Amino acid sequence: MKIKNFSQAEQFLYRQIPRGEKNKFPGQLGLDRAQFLLKSIGNPQEKIKVIHIAGTSGKGSTAYLTSQILTDLGLKTGLTLSPHLQDIRERVQINNQLISKQKFISYLNQLLEPIEKMAKSAYGAPTYFEILVALAFHTFYQEKVDYAVMETGLGGWYDGTNVVKNPKKIVILTKIGLDHTQVLGKTIGEIALQKAKIIHPGNIVFALRQKPAANKVFQKIAQEEKAHLVFIKKGVNFKNIKVNTQQTIFDFSYPPLKINQIKLGLLGTHQTENCSLALTIIYLLSKRDRFPLKIKKIRQALEKAHFPGRLEILKTNNKLVIVDGAHNPQKITSLTKTLKLLFPQKKLDFLIAFKKKKDYSQAFPKIIPLANKIYLTQFFKSKQDWISLAEEPVEMAKVLKKLKFNNFEITAKPQKIIKQKSTRPLVITGSLYLIAELYPFLLKKTKISTQKNRY
């Protein structure tokens, strides 16, 4: 078998998405499968410098910013993000750019024989996510990157990315919250453990100082693995935060490095946490690997930062649209906090869909105080790591009624809501899968690139 074009590549990968009985978190078996596949292609993950990122909130933004800064400092950088928003190649980027379709096909073809052999083994065929992780590591090794920035998929301990034993791996732990509780645990401590288990012997670990339950777990695992743990703290390492509709401004300090009045293109006070983690890692790597820190280049990288679908403000012909993939109460809190700063004393309309099993009963009380009207919808397809089902709007409506919020409408045509003329901004949130489904339509409506169409 040989894949001849990009469409065939996508279809091949879609066929590997777990279905039916297999559509569940595999735990240790999933990690074993990932290790088996990577071993069969020579363990490329052990031959490159890896920055490994886990957390409930902020890991995608932190990965993106780390990669962007390294790239602008002249270092060849691999980046894998999941889920992807528009293109599967977002999971295999070089210098924050999609690799060509030809390269994607070529490197995937190089994995087909090992995949076919594995399918006949006791492990069975690798999944969509496991193949894409292997493809990312294989591509980054073949492309001779200086660094590979790897965002975990789900959790960390048993995640398909948790396959790097090299003691030089750098670990980043972002904010921990209650999400995927049916898989990762019911408490902050249990979830923090799942994330912290990406720490391996000798690693250097940078973590956001947060709730004591998470901090204690990070310290315990770092001590057990003889890893060096550094906490980054608000008020110490980042402070004087201001947010407007163009950028987030703050001061960063990790002595002796100080960068005041950083202008960050990503919006939200929470992005100062993610950016500060990225900056701290860059500083450490510059010392360890002996490359110069060019502050002007760093400032430029951060000012032009643009991460689609993450608190992104777009102007359509008809209204202002705020797009954010917040999908758990913690992320919804960050979103609503920023919306209050950007649109004080203003009521907004919301277009919302959640995945099944998401804790939207905790999210809606944070949204309602800002809401004029809430449109409830669902996403209708999901060709990503798992078959992801959207919650039925009628179920979400029951929660709104209990909360005595009655100005809502169920719609099967979210595009129609976007097209409606209004002086009131529309916030689209609840799921990155919803954003992914609507994003092509939004881009048509904005007419020019989102990078140039920032509010």
Which is more confidently placed, 283 or 454? 283
Kindly state the tokens that stand for 87.
């293109």
Domain match, 58 and 201 both: yes
pLDDT at 442 exceeding the cut of 50: yes
pLDDT at 450 exceeding the cut of 80: no
pLDDT band at 381 (very low <50, low <70, confident <90, very high): low
Mean pLDDT of 210-216: 96
Q: Average pLDDT over the chain, rounded to whole?
A: 92
Domain match, 250 and 331 both: no
**CATH code, domain carrying 105:** 3.40.1190.10
Looking at residue 453, its pLDDT comes to 33
Domain match, 281 and 344 both: no
pTM for the full model?
A: 0.92
pLDDT band at 263 (very low <50, low <70, confident <90, very high): very high
With respect to residue 40, please indicate whether it lies within any of the assigned structural domains: yes
With respect to residue 194, please indicate whether it lies within any of the assigned structural domains: yes
With respect to residue 436, please indicate whether it lies within any of the assigned structural domains: yes
> Which run of H or of E encompasses 452?
none
Contact call for residues 159 and 133 (beta carbons, < 8 A): no
Q: Which residues pair with 175 in a beta bridge?
A: 57
**Domain total in the chain:** 2
Instruction: Count the alpha carbons within 13 Å of 26 in the hemisphere toward its beta carbon.
Output: 25
Domain match, 150 and 193 both: yes
Domain boundary residue among 263, 280, 303?
A: 303
Q: How much of the chain, in percent, has pLDDT values that exceed 70?
A: 95
Contacts (Cβ under 8 Å, ≥6 apart) of 47? 141
Domain match, 274 and 162 both: yes
pLDDT at 390 exceeding the cut of 90: no
Looking at residue 19, its pLDDT comes to 75
**CATH code, domain carrying 337:** 3.90.190.20
pLDDT at 100 exceeding the cut of 80: yes
Angle at 72 between CA 69 and CA 78, to 5 degrees: 70
Contacts (Cβ under 8 Å, ≥6 apart) of 211? 176, 188
Domain match, 61 and 82 both: yes
DSSP annotation string for 45-90:
GGSS-EEEEE-SBSHHHHHHHHHHHHHHTT--EEEE-SS-SS-GGG
Domain match, 167 and 62 both: yes
Which is more confidently placed, 330 or 13? 13
Looking at residue 330, its pLDDT comes to 87
pLDDT at 447 exceeding the cut of 70: no
Domain match, 323 and 249 both: no
Q: Which of 146-150, 214-218, 226-230, 353-357 has the lowest mean pLDDT?
A: 353-357
Domain match, 121 and 267 both: yes
Domain match, 160 and 230 both: yes
Looking at residue 360, its pLDDT comes to 87
pLDDT at 402 exceeding the cut of 90: yes
Domain match, 276 and 133 both: yes
With respect to residue 238, please indicate whether it lies within any of the assigned structural domains: yes
Please write the tens of the pLDDT for every residue from 292-325: 999 999 999 999 999 999 999 998 877 899 999 9
Which is more confidently placed, 92 or 447? 92
**98-101 contacts: CB < 8 A, separation 24 or more?**
99/139, 99/143, 101/5, 101/6, 101/9
Give the three-class secondary structure for 203: coil
pLDDT at 63 exceeding the cut of 80: yes
Domain boundary residue among 303, 332, 362?
A: 303
> Which structural domain, as residue segments, surrounds residue 31?
6-303
Looking at residue 388, its pLDDT comes to 58
pLDDT at 451 exceeding the cut of 50: no
Q: Which of 36-40, 147-151, 311-315 has the lowest mean pLDDT?
A: 311-315
pLDDT band at 8 (very low <50, low <70, confident <90, very high): very high
pLDDT band at 449 (very low <50, low <70, confident <90, very high): very low
With respect to residue 207, please indicate whether it lies within any of the assigned structural domains: yes
With respect to residue 170, please indicate whether it lies within any of the assigned structural domains: yes
Domain match, 276 and 326 both: no
Residue entry with tokens 């948790």: 162
With respect to residue 336, please indicate whether it lies within any of the assigned structural domains: yes
DSSP annotation string for 324-391:
----SHHHHHHHHHHHHHHSTT--EEEEE--BTT--HHHHHHHHGGGEEEEEE-------SSS-PPBP
pLDDT at 385 exceeding the cut of 60: no
Domain boundary residue among 303, 334, 354?
A: 303
pLDDT band at 448 (very low <50, low <70, confident <90, very high): very low
Mean pLDDT of 176-189: 84
Kindly state the tokens that stand for 189.
């401590």
With respect to residue 451, please indicate whether it lies within any of the assigned structural domains: no
Residue entry with tokens 């410098």: 49
